[in-house]
């Protein structure tokens, strides 16, 4: 039987399904993307024994010679070329002990050249320094 009655039933059934789905979408909780992603926990080591620690210690001495500048910018480096400090390191993730930190590049280069991932992060108050060879993923206390 293909008269108008079965077609009306199918139409009404289809309409009910559509309205039911629409109603569910209005009432059901929405799936919302997080506003931030949880970063993986950084590793913080009590000493620095990897191969580049020596360069990091040399950088600490260089920045100490310059008086630990606080403003971001390029500085004439005691060992030649220039080196860059990015200013305040926020420690937003809280990987390091609570303090105010500044971040400094380890390797000098021509003024204006691209920066690499190697940094030292220094507590402004105590001058305790940490070396991060991978841009804040791993920290080694110097």
Confidence of residue 25 (pLDDT cuts 50, 70, 90): very low
Beta bridge partners of 127: none
State the average pLDDT over residues 84-90. Answer: 93
> Between 46 and 23, where is the model more confident?
46
Q: According to the model, what pLDDT value does residue 16 have?
A: 60
Long-range CB pairs of 90-94 (<8 Å, 24+ gap) are 91/121, 93/39, 93/42
Q: What are phi and psi of 17, to 5 degrees?
A: -65, -45
Residue 48 pLDDT exceeds 50: yes
pTM across the whole model: 0.69
Q: Is the predicted pLDDT of residue 31 greater than 60, yes or no?
A: no
Task: Report the percentage of the chain scoring pLDDT > 70.
Answer: 73
* Residue partners of 34: CB distance under 8 A and separation at least 6: none
Residue 62: is its pLDDT beyond 90? yes
Instruction: For residue range 120-131, list pLDDT tens digits in order.
Output: 999 999 999 999
Helix H or strand E encompassing 54? helix 53-65
The pLDDT assigned to 8 comes to 64
Q: Which of 79, 51, 48, 50 is nearest to 63 (CA)?
A: 79
User: pLDDT tens for residues 97-122?
Assistant: 999 999 999 999 999 999 999 999 99
Is residue 67 scored above 70 in pLDDT?
yes
| Domains of the chain, residue spans | 43-141
User: What separation in angstroms does the CA of 110 have from each of 74, 106, 128?
Assistant: 10, 13, 28
Q: What is the CATH code of the structural domain delimited by 43-141? A: 3.10.450.30
């Amino acid at each position: 039987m293909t008269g108008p009655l079965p077609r009306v039933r199918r139409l009404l059934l289809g309409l009910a399904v559509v309205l039911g789905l629409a109603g569910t979408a209005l009432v059901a909780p929405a799936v919302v993307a997080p506003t931030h992603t949880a970063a993986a926990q950084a590793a913080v080591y009590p000493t620095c024994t990897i191969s580049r620690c020596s360069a990091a210690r040399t950088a600490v001495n260089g920045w100490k010679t310059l008086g630990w500048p606080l403003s971001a910018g390029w500085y004439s480096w005691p060992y030649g070329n220039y080196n860059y400090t990015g200013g305040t390191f926020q420690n937003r993730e809280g990987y390091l002990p609570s303090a105010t930190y500044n971040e400094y590049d380890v390797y000098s280069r021509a003024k204006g050249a691209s920066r690499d991932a190697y940094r030292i992060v220094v507590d402004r108050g105590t001058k305790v320094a940490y070396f991060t060879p991978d841009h804040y993923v791993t920290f080694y206390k110097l």
